[in-house]
């Protein structure tokens, strides 16, 4: 009888730990892909901007230094408004 209760408790603990592990994994995934959202505005990281514009991080820094690409610095992290990049591309690549 006691062994049966212990086995059931072990199974319950294993199920709870498995659920916690799954939730923890999902939170980490969301945290990695989450983009800050302010007033309906989406922001990109420098890496994402480089990937989308096919430029190197050094070129991106040069664009920042020369004020070609606007950016926001938040808590030491540099972010770029998606709308600013779209506007920049539209203005520079009109047919």
Tell me the pTM. Answer: 0.58
pLDDT, residue 33, reads 73
> What sections of 34-73 are H helices per DSSP?
46-53, 57-65
Do 88 and 69 sit in the same domain of this protein?
A: yes
Do 67 and 88 sit in the same domain of this protein?
A: yes
As a whole number of angstroms, the distance between CA 77 and CA 75 comes to 6
CB 37 within 8 A of CB 48: no
Do 46 and 80 sit in the same domain of this protein?
A: yes
Q: How many separate domains does the chain show? A: 2
Look up the CATH number of the domain holding residue 68: 1.10.10
Segment 7-55, tens digit of pLDDT: 888 888 888 888 898 888 888 887 777 765 677 788 899 999 999 999 9
């Amino acid at each position: 009888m006691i062994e049966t209760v212990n086995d059931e408790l072990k199974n319950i603990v294993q199920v709870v730990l498995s659920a916690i592990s799954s939730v923890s994994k999902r939170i980490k995934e969301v945290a990695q892909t989450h983009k800050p959202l302010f007033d309906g505005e989406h922001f990109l990281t420098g890496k994402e901007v480089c990937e989308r514009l096919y430029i190197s991080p050094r070129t991106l820094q040069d664009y920042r230094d020369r004020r070609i690409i606007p950016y926001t610095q938040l808590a030491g992290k540099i972010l770029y408004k998606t709308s600013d990049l779209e506007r920049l591309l539209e203005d520079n690549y009109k047919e």
